[in-house]
Amino acid sequence: MTPALMGLALGAAVGLLDYIVLSFIGNQMAKKAIEHEATPEETRKVTNFMRNLGLISLIIFPIVGYFAGPYVFPSSIESVGG
């Protein structure tokens, strides 16, 4: 596995984790907003914003990982395993 692909995989894992965390935070914020008698449109805005932010990070982190992988992982790792 090349260093770029290792960075891509690590970036995808971080992006997926970030998406899950941001979705959870958005849902919790929506529950708090409902408790404080917010309108359904306001709660939808909160959850949509957090979900969209998570989707953006799901795209950005693998791209950054792909380009940062060769700098983080030395090329000597490429020869390990075959």
* Whole-structure pTM value: 0.78
Predicted pLDDT at 76:
57
- The rounded distance, in Å, linking the Cα atoms of 26 and 10 is 24
Q: What is the pLDDT of residue 10?
A: 94
> Which pLDDT score is estimated for 82?
46
Residue 52: the pLDDT is 92
What secondary structure letter does DSSP report for 48? H
**Can you read off the two tokens belonging to residue 34?**
């409902």
pLDDT in tens, 26-74: 888 888 877 777 788 878 888 888 889 999 999 999 999 999 988 888 7
